[in-house]
Chains A and B, each alone.
Chain A
Amino acid sequence: MTRAVLSIALGLLTAASAQKVQTPIPIGIALAQTGNVALLGQEQVIGARLAEKHINARGGIGGTPIKLIFQDAAGDENSAINAFQSLINKSNVVAIVGPTLSQQAFAADPIAERAKVPVIGPSNTAKGIPQIGDYVARVSAPVAVVAPNAIKQALKLNPRIKKVAVLYAQNDAFSVSETGTFQETAKAQGLDIATVQKFQTTDTDFTTQVTAVLNSGADLVIISGLAADGGNLVKQLRQLGYKGLIVGGNGLNTSNIFPVCQQYCDGVIIAQAYSPAQPSAANQLFVKEYRAQYKKDPPQFAAQAYAGVQVVVDALKALDRKKDLAQWNLNDLRTALNKQILAGKYSTPLGELRFDKEGEILQKDFYVAQIKMKDAKNGSFVYLK
């Protein structure tokens, strides 16, 4: 019995290693389509699909179309691991864009690393993601680079700020890493951290935290969480009478918080790695296509997922010019693709991108925006100089 299983396994292994690359070229997308993070995942799926449409409309890779294979990675580690395994072993993808959360990346990326399949993190901004392995890169700038800009901007708007209240979602790896950056920046700017409050991303009732913030006499509140909890927190802070400035982290950087905090979102300051106003041709085209379909400006998560797919495709194009993709054996292509991804330079909606040798994104343009609500439902991110 064992022998039979072994020989079947060996057979499968040799079959896989000698496999040719399929056409259309399969690229794996492992994002949160269900679960509590689907809110962000849905935006990413939209971004990835737009990229696919755009690329195939322009002849794909040297005439060969690409095909995105979607596997729902939901919001938990197990689903991400299953999605990765299925994409690598069943769908034979050349690379994977995903997962949505940093927390999932720490669990699922090592699987791609062992299988030698390149992974592009579209929204993993926690510390240590590129260091997971040689095959892991990301197009989402780390919080340590993005977050400090927001605090500096808040101090520009109100130089008299002295005391800060910091709140973060303690069950989310990304928020924990972001709040660390926020707290260091606040201290470096000479601010006094009056209170640090924790919550869970699944929380809806923040009365306890808000009461503590009000009692601490803070004149700046900094929130690291996701859209639902972050938006609710903003709303309850304002309803209970907090009047000072609020800085939101990357998780609040989505138009999805508008329906949550409604008119109370007004004035929240958010540092961003993407702006629809970014002038590059690649971005203006992306914004135009997105607006045509969704009647609003694209959010950062859509832009980053788009950029993730684009990076994979541009690297594949470079390889295809050397040797027709259909001639490659799958494993060799995955390895060569990983090298090519790290070597290339890309003009994406995020502006010009490169990677360092670990797979960390090198990005030029960052923004700080302030939310302006037109009415209870519609708002926009207005860019501050």
Chain B
Amino acid sequence: MELSQFLQNVLNGLAIGSVYAIFALGYTLVFSILGIINFAHGAVFTLGAYFTYTLVVGQFENNGLLKGINLFPDGSPFSGTPWLFALATLVGAVVAGLVAVLVERLAFRPMRARGADPLLALVSSLGVALVLVNLIQLLVGAEIYNFPSDAYGQVQPALSFQVGDRVVIVRTVQIIIFAVSLVMLAILGYVIGRTKVGKALRAVAENPGTASLLGISVDRFILITFFLSGFLGGLAGTLVGTAFGVAGPYFGVTYGLKGLAVIVLGGLGSIPGAVVGGLVIGLAEAFVPAQYSAYKDAVAFALLFVILLVRPQGLLGRAQIQKV
């Protein structure tokens, strides 16, 4: 492989891998606190993209119940410069976080209150995911919505570097995705590692019973966790939506599965593991030769399988020690 091709693949892999990473972090947060996989995470991801789109464009003109409603007849206040677009992205992610809180209230808390098997919570979150996806379709139809190219001002669509006699091209949006993901990861790392909230979260994750004896409101911290998880999922949704289009109500499904592979690969419940896992899968996909690129998803899961054979606890997971 030539150097230019190698660099091209690395850049492509890092861009998509970093999205996998922040998406998977949302999964991991919930898992580390509750020990369950929230299957509605993929739907929250999709919603994040739709919320941002609503703010930036203000209408869904093609199909669905919202057809004909225009929030901003005089043009959206969230469109036209990169900063306004970033603001819309943040608001979209916050609303996605609130949806995740709602999901916790409806699908997880009643189960917890009854002391139900964690598997039931998983099935119930799957139900929520289906309801959300179909609700999106009911409201806005199955069309693909793409952010208008002038929504984030005049940004060069792609940058190219000369490497030897070949050219390496990166879409600007890929660089932005990568940068935003890194910033988010740094912030999250700081919150969990260095702040009071982070301490409390870690205490709840370690042992909810003891944490509540120490005066930590477990339910409140579970809500905070869900909010953070939904925020990250929604943010990832907007990033992917900006790069590749908001590809209909179902577009979070593949990411949902991919995210699952990422956290298992990185080690369940491990925050650095989710990041490493995301980047590893992104890079692995980018290095699939172009003529076989349709098998990218299969490669991600094959890699998962191989790594689990060698390290059942995942790349950075801790081996489970059975107490006897």
- Answer yes or no: B234 CB below 8 A from chain A CBs: no
The answer to whether A259 and B146 have CB atoms under 8 Å apart is: yes
Give the contacts of B283-301 with A (CB-CB under 8 A).
286, 288, 290-294, 296-297
For residue B292, which residues in chain A have a CB less than 8 angstroms away from its CB? 198
Is the beta-carbon distance between B251 and A204 smaller than 8 angstroms? yes
The answer on a CB contact under 8 Å between B293 and A197 is yes
State which of A31-39, A51-59, A152-160, A327-335 sits at the interface with chain B. Answer: A31-39
In the complex, B245 has a CB within 8 A of chain A: yes
Interface band, chain B:
35 or more
Interface residues of A in 172-201 (CB under 8 A from B): 195-200
Instruction: Tell me, yes or no, whether A262 is within 8 Å of chain B by CB.
Output: yes
In B13-72, the 8 Å CB interface with A consists of 15-16, 62-63
Q: In chain A, residues 8-37, which have Cβ atoms closer than 8 Å to a Cβ of chain B?
A: 34-36
B149 at the interface (CB under 8 A from A): yes
Q: Considering only CB atoms, which chain B residue lies closest to A46 in the complex?
A: B63
Q: How far is the CB of B237 from chain A (nearest CB, A)?
A: 12
Q: State which of B16, B158, B166, B293 has its C-beta within 8 Å of the C-beta of A199.
A: B293
Contact A42 B293 (CB under 8 A): no
* Distance between Cα atoms of A204 and B250 in the complex (Å): 12
**Contact mask A212-231 → B, CB, 8 Å, 1/0?**
10110000000000011001
Cβ-based interface call for B240 (8 A): yes
Q: How far is the CB of B8 from chain A (nearest CB, A)?
A: 6
A: interface residue count bin: 35 or more
> Do B148 and A262 touch (CB < 8 A)?
yes
In the complex the two chains form, is B148's CB within 8 Å of A377's CB?
yes
Q: Tell me the residues in window 53-100 of chain B with beta carbons closer than 8 Å to chain A beta carbons.
A: 62-63
| Interface: B160 (CB within 8 A) | yes
Stretch at the interface among B134-142, B183-191, B271-279: B134-142
Q: How far is the CA of A212 from the CA of B2 in the complex (A)?
A: 13
Whether B247 contacts A228 by the Cβ 8 Å rule is yes
- Is B248 within 8 A of A36, CB to CB? yes
Neighbouring B residues of A38 by C-beta, 8 Å = 137, 141-142, 248
Within 8 Å CB of B12, what residues of A? 207-208, 211
In the complex, what residues of A have CB within 8 A of residue B240's CB? 204
Q: How far, in whole Å, are A128 and B139 apart by their CA atoms in the complex? A: 37
Complex contacts, A202 vs chain B, CB 8 Å: 250, 254
Q: Chain A binding site: helix, strand, loop or mixed by DSSP?
A: helix
- Which of B145, B146, B291 has its CB near the most chain A CB atoms (within 10 A)? B146
**Cβ of B137 and Cβ of A212 under 8 Å apart?**
no
Interface residues of A in 237-278 (CB under 8 A from B): 238-241, 256, 259-263
> Is A239 a contact partner of B291 (Cβ separation < 8 A)?
no
A228/B144 contact (C-beta < 8 A), A208-B286, A240-B171, A376-B150 known: yes
| A236 adjacent to chain B (CB < 8 Å) | yes
Find B171's partner among A36, A232, A239, A259 (CB 8 Å cutoff).
A239
Q: Nearest residue in B to A212 (C-beta to C-beta)?
A: B290
Among candidates A170, A203, A215, A227, residue contacting B5 with C-beta atoms closer than 8 Å: A215
Q: Is the CB of B291 within 8 A of A196?
A: yes
Which of A42, A203, A231, A263 has a CB less than 8 Å from the CB of B63?
Answer: A42
Taking CB atoms, residues of chain A closer than 8 Å to B144 are 39, 227-228, 231-232, 256, 259-260
Q: Do residues A205 and B16 form an inter-chain contact, with CB atoms below 8 A? A: yes
B72 CB, min distance to chain A CBs, angstroms:
15
Q: Find chain B residues with CB under 8 A from A347 CB.
A: none
Nearest CB in chain A: distance from B140 CB, A: 12
Docked pose: A197 CA to B297 CA in angstroms: 16
**A195 in contact with B291 given A42-B63, A204-B245, A241-B169 (CB within 8 Å):** yes
Task: Give complex CA distance A36, B134 in Å.
Answer: 12
* Residues of chain B contacted by A131 (CB below 8 angstroms): none
Give which listed residue, B9, B16, B171, B294, contacts A170 with CB less than 8 A. Answer: B294
Most buried by B among A34, A205, A239, A263: A205
Closest CB of chain B to A273's CB: distance in Å? Answer: 22
Q: Are B148 and A200 in contact (CB under 8 A)?
A: no
Closest to B64 in A: A42
Please tell me if the beta carbons of B149 and A262 are within 8 angstroms of each other in the complex.
Answer: yes
Nearest residue, chain A, Cβ from B294: A198
Q: Does B141 lie within 8 Å of A42, measured CB to CB?
A: yes
Give chain B interface residues in 111-150, CB to chain A under 8 Å: 134, 137, 141-146, 148-150
Known: A203-B296, A211-B12, A231-B245. 4 other contacts (CB 8 A): A38-B248, A205-B243, A232-B144, A236-B171
Chain B residues with CB under 8 Å of chain A are: 5, 8-9, 12, 15-16, 62-63, 134, 137, 141-146, 148-150, 157-158, 160, 166, 169, 171, 174, 240, 243-245, 247-248, 250-251, 254, 286, 288, 290-294, 296-297
- CB pairs A–B below 8 angstroms (24 shown): A35-B142, A197-B291, A198-B292, A202-B250, A202-B254, A204-B243, A204-B244, A204-B247, A204-B251, A207-B15, A208-B9, A208-B286, A209-B293, A211-B169, A231-B144, A231-B245, A236-B171, A239-B171, A241-B169, A259-B145, A261-B146, A262-B146, A263-B149, A376-B149
